[in-house]
Structure 1
Amino acid sequence: MNWKSCLTFVVSFLFETTVPSETQLAILGQHIVLDCSFPVDKQWDRTRCQIEWKLDKVVVHSFYYGQDHLNDQNSHYVNRTSLYHSDIQKGNASLRLEHATLGDEGNYTCTVHTEMGPKRTSVSLKLAAFYAEPRLKFSTSACGVELLLTTKGYPRPSVQWLTVSGEDVGDDTVTHLSQDTQGLYTVSSTVSLQGAVNKTLTFILKNEALGQEIRRNITLLSGNSVDVSPGVYQERWWFVITVLAVMLKYLKLNKLYRTHL
């Protein structure tokens, strides 16, 4: 092996694409930038650089001969992707994806081909959506009271009902999760309490992906029996609902909403 071939081998060996090692998180409906960079030198030629992004085998975005070529782009990504053209000469091959949907989740491959050869690296993307403020419905009877809290978000959350002392009231609760056509989870959590009740319960929902926590303290006070019809008596109920905390870990959001200029 002569010195020229050795030099070519070393240069090729040093050429690598770089992407974040951790899974990237996007908020449903917002944009996300998938970072990818590569080394350039003074001899770098923009017209000879090729950049391609794929989700598995699906073409997301293609760039070569100094411009975008989107004829082979999958229809799911039309008018939603872009590169930072002015920064490509600086080694920036990052992809900006607009209006993120749950269908965008998966492993993306960034392939950069220059005079030093092709290099590809993969980065994983996950989606999340904040859970909305829960809606409360309740019904009472001579036997007791039933509370129902519903909300929607993504991904699958954890749900708990606790007493003031921190005891789980799971035996009296039923939580049902279903997914709509978009893939969002609808959470319906019911707690049923028998007889006259004077207590405070805490509903807790956690969306670990976004560091979101929703807490609601619900105080139930049953009063004296009230005659609502001849021969029929029903407990009078008062409900005091307190929202203690809704969203936490705002520092994580700063990273999610950062923009590349």
Structure 2
Amino acid sequence: MVKMFCSMFLIFQSLLWLLSRGDPTVTCVFRQSCILPCNVDPSSDTILRWDHLTSREHNVHSYYDSEDQLGRQDQQFKGRTSLFKDLISRGNASLKLTGVKIQDEGRYRCYSSTERGSKKTFIQLKVEALIKVNIKKVENRIICSSEDIYPKPELTWFIYPPSELELHNRTTVHQTEEQLYSISSSLLVSDSFKDQIYSCTVSSGRNRIRASFCKRKKFMDPSKVIAIIIEAFLLWILIFIIIGVIIEAICKTAAHQQSNKAANQQNSAESQCLQITAG
């Protein structure tokens, strides 16, 4: 009784361990080829069946009588599956899937049957699309964008050195008919006279790509500098002319006043002389 209890306990623990591990996961790249591994008992007469388990079973690939049997293959997988036939007798029942689509995601079952018995293996397939980031400056905004991404991406900005202005960014995400995502974000460029690096990071699944744009500090156009110098020089000349005219006018006024004063003094002296003579 004790032995039976211990045996049942060990079996229960083994089942819990298997369940906790879950199905192994294979990550495939969108539009590329991918291999779903499956090991079976070596045999010269093996029956194989791969199924895609979604809302219902979809036949992915069948093999028996030493030949592919694709009469019941689901339309989604037509012309996209193959087995390594030379290795099946050695226990390799892996499936090669080409032109991976987003719809291929999900749980797969590899069923095998030989003279030793039957076996089932389950695999989770996940799809990721490679990220390519484009960053450019358009007028007074930095634009960062990426297309054909999966799964749904996120975009973040980083500025160095940090800007004192608030980041007025606008981000939009769209999904195509192929269930791929496109993301775009624009950031207002701060009007500063120093070098700044604008970096945007696009994250999707395990992938993360950063792109940067360097905004150089502003330097005035040499022609504008020359024009400003000439204008300043002409302005100073004009100021000197005006000051000269004013000084000349003041001097003339002072001289005229001095002349009038001298004339008045002379007239006064002559008047005094006449009075003395007459007396």
Worse-matched range after superposition: 153-162 or 85-94: 153-162
Provide, for residues 111-139 of structure 1, a one-character-per-residue CA deviation record: whole Å limited to 9, x for no partner.
11122332212101111122224152512
The equivalent of 1:117 in structure 2 is: 117
TM-score, normalised with respect to structure 1: 0.67
Find the aligned partners of 1:208 and 1:22 in 2 and give their Cα distance.
Answer: 21
Provide, for residues 66-87 of structure 1, a one-character-per-residue CA deviation record: whole Å limited to 9, x for no partner.
2111011011111110111111
The equivalent of 1:52 in structure 2 is: 49
The equivalent of 1:215 in structure 2 is: 211
Find the aligned partners of 1:105 and 1:69 in 2 and give their Cα distance.
Answer: 23
Find the aligned partners of 2:23 and 2:47 in 1 and give their Cα distance.
Answer: 23
Q: 2:86 is paired with a residue of what secondary structure? A: helix
**For the structure 1 residues 178 and 51, does the alpha-carbon distance in structure 2 shift closer, same or farther, using more than 3 Å as the test?**
same
**For the structure 1 residues 167 and 45, does the alpha-carbon distance in structure 2 shift closer, same or farther, using more than 3 Å as the test?**
farther
Q: 2:40 is paired with a residue of what secondary structure? A: coil
Contact 2:80 2:99 in 1 (8 A): yes
User: In the TM superposition, what are the counterparts of 1:34-183 in structure 2 within 5 Å?
Assistant: 34-40=36-42, 44-46=43-45, 49-56=46-53, 57-139=57-139, 145-152=140-147, 153-165=149-161, 171-183=167-179
The alignment's C-alpha RMSD in Å is: 2.8
Contact 1:130 1:212 in 2 (8 A): no
What letter corresponds to residue 94 of structure 1 in structure 2? S
Contact 2:133 2:202 in 1 (8 A): no
Provide, for residues 136-175 of structure 1, a one-character-per-residue CA deviation record: whole Å limited to 9, x for no partner.
2512xxxxx2222221122223322112146898842122
Shift of 1:209: 3.7
Structure with the higher fraction of residues in helix conformation: 2
Percent identity between matched residues is 24
Shift of 1:184: 1.7
Question: How many matched pairs?
Answer: 198
TM-score, normalised with respect to structure 2: 0.63
User: In the TM superposition, what are the counterparts of 1:219-230 in structure 2 within 5 Å?
Assistant: 219=215, 221-222=217-218
The match for 1:22 among 8, 21, 24 is 24
In structure 2, stretches of 5+ residues that fail to align are: 1-21, 225-279
Find the aligned partners of 2:165 and 2:33 in 1 and give their Cα distance.
Answer: 40
What letter corresponds to residue 217 of structure 1 in structure 2? F
